[in-house]
Structure 1
Amino acid sequence: MKQPVAHQFVRYLENRGIQHIFGLCGHTNIAVLSALENSTIKFVNTRHEQIAAHMADGYARAKKQTSVVLTHLGPGLTNAATGVANAALDSIPMVVIAGDVPSHFYGKHPHQEINLHADASQYEIYRPFVKRAWRVDRPDLFPEIMEKAFQLAESGRPGPVLVSVPMDIFSKEIDVALFDRLKHHTKHLHKPSIDDETARQIIEKLIEAKHPLIYAGGGVILADAASELREMVDHLSIPVAYTLMGKGAISDDHPFALGMTGFWGTKFVNDTCRNADLILALGTRFSEADCSSWEPEYTFHFPTTKLIHIDIDPNEIGRNYPAEIGVVADLKQALTVLNRVAKEIIPGGRQNEAFKRKIAEYKEEFRNKIRVHVEDHSYPMRPERILQEVREVLPKDAYITTDVGWNKNGVGQQFPVYEAGTILTPGGYATMGFGAPAALGAKIAQPDKVVVSLVGDGGFGQNPSVLATAAEENIPVVWVVMNNFAYGTIAGLQKAHYGTTHGTVFQRDGEPYSPDFAAIAKAYGVEGVKIQSAEEFKPALQRAIASNQPFVIDVAMLNEPVPTAGHWNIMDIYSPHKKVHHVSVSH
């Protein structure tokens, strides 16, 4: 029996357990949209393809499931590219289905085709950042390509893949047996673990070290290994530092949780890492911001410090630092074995009360240092007070999405996260415009959780049409627009090094300017509040959460830099031989 490819494709996705598809229509994909009309799969309609990709990204992180994006050819594909690239650099599994030009028009330059260098080559646009890009040349090959696409997106180091489908192939009929045979193939691959001998080596080295440290990256969260990490820390009493993407891998209220490293890390955290004699790194690529541009006087001092590195991706082991022991393994399985071996070697575990007290004293000192800003009643508000009050209002299991600037760097440094996977931030690509739509995806994935997006006015202003989707689908996300009337972080950089803020602040007739985001929200049919004093903010946030409706809070914020003891090499490029970072940009 034969049926159209589009209808069989939708049924295939249903059988895989796909519940949502994010996207935007075009003449090349409406065959699939039509097939979705009576499907159990919900199509989430957006007003821009970048929004669709970021929503799918947030959804995949919160649901721990591969997400699906449906887009049009040409501008649809290129609009989605930023969101897909962001997912790629943060190792988020995603399958992108893109309509393509009719196969019988190859070489004729049909409507919206990109073919300046080769015919039928739109899929090649994605090659630098997806794990693989397919173009479907025959309808009978489509089923097996889809199966390969999901398997590749989910295996090893996860990431997006692209399947570019000529629109005529969606309408072709193929034998249902071609899709049916795929039901017999496993949908979950067994992942590599670690052998007992290697595990024993690692545990013995950790025990022998005078100043051991665990460095947790985003791979811990991707592997769902936070409980196994905590078990190791509790048994061996080893302090844990984390990357930006690893925030939440251990609860920030754990007595051995140090905090985030690198440029936006504190001196205590960076010095503790630098003075460790052995570091067990888990699921991290040692990215530049986390490592203070890899300069040894700031955060890490390898190979003086010995490194044991476990990661699912062999390409990351030894990329930036030499590893004494390198292990390719799934972190959940590896930590399970390491914990068993640790309990065999030291059944009663070990204590490190002295260092636990040292961490507690550091945290208290840090809180005291920022208390003056947290309790500041001035308006525009201090960013520290905004973050403090958001944390006070939210339940511990609430989901937070960030964009870039204070809402990413300041959150990484100062905002406690208590449950793994509840902080969604654009790490590798650091994409402005991620936070607002990612929150929608997270809320769809976790409808019973509170979801708050901390975003700047620059990021929220890039794609306010997220509000249309929120209104249409009634997705109760709260957006806190931390509004400093600027691309604040870059403005602070430019002023510090060049003495100007040209092109980085928003002005009208020489005065600070911002649209009224609360009024914009209301125009979309979403509730909005424009805060007028510091005292109004916390009650407004409480009301927004209680409303269980989409809600925008526009709060003016001082443009103050995130304090830092780390280093970023761009400072040396801007101002050689000077120790200058960011400065305040006052209105």
Structure 2
Amino acid sequence: MKQLISHQLVRYLEDRGVEHIFGLCGHTNIAVLTALEDSKIRLINTRHEQIAAHAADGYARATKKASVVLSHLGPGLTNAATGVANAALDSIPMVVIAGDIPSYYYGKHPHQEINLHADASQWEIYRPFVKRAWRVDTPELFPEILEKAFQLAESGRPGPVLVNVPMDFFSREIDVSLFTRLRHHTKALQKPSIDDVTAKKIVQALLDAKDPVIYAGGGVILADAAEELRAFAEHLSLPVAHSLMGKGVLPDDHELVLGMTGFWGTKLVNDKCRNADWIVGLGTRFAEADCSSWENEFTFSFPPTKLIHIDIDSNEIGRNYPVEIGVVTDLKNALTVLNRVAREMLPEGRKNDALRKEIAAFRETFVAGNQKFVQDDCFPMMPERILSVVREVLPRDAFITTDVGWNKNGVGQQFPIYTPGSILTPGGYCTMGFGAPAALGAKVAFPDRVVVSLVGDGGFGQNPAVLATAVEENIPVIWVVMNNFAFGTIAGLQKAHYGTTTGTLFRKDGEPYQADFAAVARAYGAEGVKIESAEQFKEVLAQAVKSNKPFVIDVAMKNNPVPTTGHWNILDIYSPNAKVSHVSTD
């Protein structure tokens, strides 16, 4: 028996457990959209493909399963590219299904074909950043390509894949047996683990170490290994530092958490990592900002520090630092074995009350140092006060999405996260415009949890059409727009090094200018409030949480740079040998 590929595709996705597709219509994919009409799969209809990709990214981070993006050809696929690349650099599983020109028009340059260097070559645009890009050239092979796509996206180091389909194939009939046979294939591969000999070697090194540190990256979150990490750290009393992407791997009020490392890190965490004799790197690529541009005097110093690096991707082991013990494995499986072996070798565990007291004392001092900003009644508001109020109002398990600038760097340094996996931030690509649509995906995935996007005015202004989707699809996200009328972080950097702010401030006739985002929200049909005083903010945020509606809070903010004890090599590029910081002095 034969049936249309479009209808068999939808049935296949249903059988895989796919509940949502993020996308935008085009003449190449309407056959699939039609097939979705009577499906239990919910289409999250967006007004721009970048919104679709970022929302799907947020959804995949929240669910820890591959999300699905449906795209049109040409400009549709290139619009989505930034969001897909962002997911790729943060190892987020995603399957992008894109329509393309009819197969029988290759090379004739039909409407929107990309063929400047090869016929029907739009799929090649994604090759530098997806795990695999398929161009489906035979309708009968489409089912098994689709199966391979999901398997590849979710296995090993996760990431996006592209399945590029000529539009006429969606309207072709193929034998149903080609899809049916795929039901016999496993949908979850068994993941590699660590052997006892290697586990004992690692545990013994940590027991013999004088000042060991666990350094946790986003890979721990992706592997759903936070509880295993917590048990391991507590049993051996190991302090836990983390990358930006590893934030929240343990609750920020846990007594062993040091905090985020690198340029935006604090003195305690950077000193502890730099002076450690052994570091266990878990699921981290040791990225530049997290490592103070890999300069030994600021955050890490390998050697003399010895490194144990455990990751699912062998390419990351030894990429930036020499490794004493390198292990390629799934982190959840590895930590399960390490926990068992540690209890066999040291049944009673190890105590380190002095370390706990040191961390607690520093945390108290750090919080006290911010109080003058947290308690400041000035308006525009201090960013520290904005973060403090948001944390006070939200439940511990609320999802937070960030963008770039203060809302990413300041949140990483100062905003407590209490539930693993509840902060979604663009780490590898640092994409402006990620935070607002990513919140849509998180809320779709977990409708019963509060979702707040902390986003700058520059980031929110990238794609305000997220509001149309939120209203149309009834997705009650709260957007807190931290509005400093500028690309603030870059403005401070440019002012510090070059004495100007050209191209970084939003101005009209010499005065600060920005859209009234609260009014924009109301125009779309969402709730919107423009904050007029620092005192008003807490009340409005509580109102937004209670409303259970899409809600924009536009809050004017002072451009008060995030303090830092780390380093970033760009400072030396701008002002060599001058020791100029990222903070303007006037």
Give TM class, smaller chain: over 0.9
Counterparts of 2:63 and 2:545, CA distance in 1: 21
What is residue 318 of structure 1 aligned with on the other side? 318
Q: Could you say what the CA RMSD is over the residues aligned between the two structures, in angstroms? A: 0.7
Work out the CA distance in 2 between the residues paired with 1:301 and 1:4: 59
Q: What do the CA deviations read for 1:172-226 (whole angstroms, capped 9, x no partner)?
A: 1000000000000000000000000000000000000000000000000000000
* Structure 2 counterpart SS, 1:481: strand
Note the residue ranges of structure 2 that are not aligned, 5 or more in a row: none
Say if 1:560 and 1:584, in contact at 8 Å, map to a contact too. no
Q: Which runs of structure 2 are paired with 1:139-178 in the superposition (5 Å)? A: 139-178=139-178
The aligned counterpart of 1:122 is: 122
* Cα displacement string for residues 477-529 of structure 1 (whole angstroms, at most 9, x for unaligned residues): 00000000000000010000000000000000001111100000000000000
Q: Which residue does 2:408 correspond to in 1?
A: 408
Q: Deviations for 1:60-95, whole angstroms, at most 9, x for unmatched residues?
A: 111121100000000000000000000000000000
| Partner residue in 2 for 1:15 | 15
Distance, in Å, in 2 between the alignment partners of 1:102 and 1:299 is 54
The equivalent residue for 1:397 is: 397
What TM-score, normalized by structure 2, do the two folds share?
1.00
8 Å contact from structure 2 (residues 7, 32) kept in 1: yes
Do 2:494 and 2:500's aligned partners in 1 also have CA atoms closer than 8 Å? Answer: yes
Kindly provide the CA deviation profile for residues 297-332 of structure 1, in whole angstroms up to 9, marking residues without a partner as x.
000000210000000000000000011000000000
**Aligned residue number for residue 190 of structure 1:** 190
Residue 93 of structure 1 aligns with an amino acid whose one-letter code is P
CA distance in 1, matches of 2:367, 2:553: 26
Q: Give yes or no for the alignment of 1:242 onto 2:242.
A: yes
d(CA) in 1 for partners of 2:381, 2:470: 27
Where does 1:331-410 land on structure 2 (aligned, <5 Å)? 331-410=331-410
Partner-residue secondary structure (3-state), 1:199: helix
Give, in angstroms, the shift of residue 579 of structure 1: 1.7
**Which residue number corresponds to residue 501 of structure 2?**
501
1:120 CA displacement: 1.1
The answer (yes or no) to whether the contact 1:216–1:240 under 8 Å persists in 2 is yes
1:34 and 2:34 matched: yes
Amino acid at match of 1:70: L
Corresponding residue of 1:288: 288
Q: CA separation in 2, counterparts of 1:92 and 1:204?
A: 34
CA–CA distance in 1 between the matches of 2:240 and 2:581? 27
Task: Report if aligned partners of 2:396, 2:417 keep a CA contact under 8 Å in 1.
Answer: yes
Query: Partner residue of 1:450?
Result: 450
CA distance in 1, matches of 2:479, 2:473: 16
What whole-Å deviation, never above 9, does each CA across 1:404-431 have from its counterpart, x for those lacking one? 0111000000000011000000000000
Corresponding letter in the other structure for 1:67? S
Q: Tell me, which stretches of 5 or more residues in structure 1 are unaligned? A: none
**Is the Cα–Cα contact under 8 Å of residues 406 and 562 in structure 2 kept in the other structure?**
yes
The one-letter amino acid of 2:445's match is A
Contact kept, 8 Å, 2:213 with 2:240, in 1: the verdict is yes
> For 1:539, what is the secondary structure of its paired residue?
helix
Cα shift at 1:582: 2.1
Q: Distance in 1 between matches of 2:7 and 2:375?
A: 59
Conserved in 2, the CA contact under 8 Å of 1:219 and 1:246?
Answer: yes
Instruction: Tell me which residue corresponds to 2:571.
Output: 571
- The answer as to whether partners of 1:485 and 1:506 remain within 8 angstroms in 2 is yes
Contact in 2 for aligned 1:220/1:331 (Cα 8 Å): yes
Aligned CA distance change for structure 1 residues 65 and 445 (closer, same or farther; 3 Å)? same
* Structure 1 residue 584, shift from structure 2 partner: 5.0
In the other structure, the counterpart of 1:276 is 276
- Looking at structure 1, the residues matched to 466 and 430 of structure 2 have their Cα atoms a distance apart, in angstroms, of 19
Contact conserved, 2:493 with 2:584, CA < 8 A, in 1? no
How far residue 585 of structure 1 moved from its aligned partner, in angstroms, is 8.9
Residue type of the alignment partner of 2:254? H
**Percent same amino acid at aligned positions?**
76
| 2:180 matches 1:180 | yes
SS at 1:552 equivalent: strand
Q: 1:581 deviation in Å?
A: 2.0
Q: What corresponds to 1:87 in structure 2?
A: 87
Q: 1:29 to 1:585 in 2, by over 3 A?
A: farther
SS in 2 for 1:13: helix
Write the letter of the residue equivalent to 1:254.
H
Counting matched residue pairs gives 586
Q: Name the structure 2 match of 1:471.
A: 471
Q: Tell me the CA shift for residue 388 of structure 1.
A: 0.5
